[in-house]
Amino acid sequence: MAKQKIYILTGNNNFFGQTRKPWISMDVDKIVDVIQKNDFQVKKYTFHEIVNQKQTIENGIVFYTFSQKLNRRNYIKDVVRFLDSNNNPVIPSYDLLLCHENKGYQELFKKKLDLFFLKSFYFSSIDELSQYDINFPIVLKSVDSSNGKFVFKINNEEELHGKIQQLVKQNFFTKMDLVRRKYFRKKKGYRDYPDYTNRKDYFQYRDYILNENNFVLQEFIPGLTFDYRVLAISGRFYVMKRFTREGDFRASGTKIQQYDIEVEANLLNFAKEVSAKFDTPFLSLDIGFYDNKYYLFEFQALHFGINAVVKTKGYYQNQNGSWKFVESDQRIEEVIGEGLVNYINNELN
């Protein structure tokens, strides 16, 4: 019987994120070793080799890296969409790739999975705000922010408009062009376009030419001094705690973390219930706790921080309905390789 094929797609220079930092790769060959020991045939290619038909993928499962670089992320989206449309199972799914560094699509995907924990809005323009009733305070997020950057607590409508405008930098020459069009153009008309006016054309051109950023507004949870980062990896749950700085509400990016913590079963039950909806072997969950309830803030399906694995003493596993702590000092490559194998054997086969 032929071995099942797994194709691993890496970035240039054998990159597969991440370990210590987003730009530091895992050792892909160690992941390959783990998978091969579990009786799979593994082939490793780069994305450009597939795109330019130097190599081909046939009758196999595709496991691929994400990227933090915008151009490479868009490149990967093209490749994965192409492979997915040709009936090659891709891990993570194309939807989860779209969620990577895109908080807007994350909110849409939460709704698709019926994960309604915090009220949220997703906008493409400041002009869209006037059609909605927004309760303050609220959290403003740029869709591509990470580590707490470009995430703000907003207290009123004036502050919201000001902060959104600060997120977008306009080119000096664009500003000058708009001034010229508004104040120094001669009045003109077009016989074939009788409804044309300089004023109308100015506002239409301004809407067309100005840079805008998509953004998310998310319900604000008061009084938070910490959150949990839970890595759900094929039935294993690695847990750490992240703390906010004094006077701030953001735990992401502070680097104030605790690894040897007491973990309540309710947190693990929540993480297990949420992760089960995603149908993916790897999931990083940012979870808050307020008023005796847990809330999912954000998630990521790959290329996430790995401190919860490498700096804790092990993981939690649900055995016959009861949570057990399993001590472990495995390398991240072993954890990823075993997680992928377990997912394929238990969920895909």
The pLDDT of residue 326 is above 90: yes
Q: What is the pLDDT of residue 192?
A: 92
SS3 assignment, position 33? helix
pLDDT at 88: 87
CA distance 214 to 37: 45
Instruction: List pLDDT tens digits, range 26-47.
Output: 999 999 999 999 999 999 999 9
Extents of the domains making up the chain:
4-99, 169-211
Architecture of domain 4-99: 3-Layer(aba) Sandwich (3.40)
Question: Pairing between strand 90-91 and 60-64?
Answer: parallel
**What's the pLDDT band for 341 if we cut at 50, 70, 90?**
very high
Instruction: Give me the amino acid identity at 22.
Output: P
100-136 pLDDT tens trace:
999 999 999 999 999 988 999 999 999 999 999 999 9
In this prediction the pTM is 0.92
- Tell me what pLDDT residue 86 has: 83
Model confidence at 148: pLDDT above 70: no
Q: Taking a C-beta distance cutoff of 8 angstroms, is the pair 167, 173 a contact?
A: no
Residue 233's identity, in one-letter code, is I
**Which residues are registered as beta bridge partners of 122?**
216
Q: Residue 147: what pLDDT?
A: 62
Structure letter (DSSP) for residue 63: E
Kindly give, in sequence order, each residue whose CB lies less than 8 Å from that of residue 124, ignoring residues fewer than 6 positions away.
212, 214
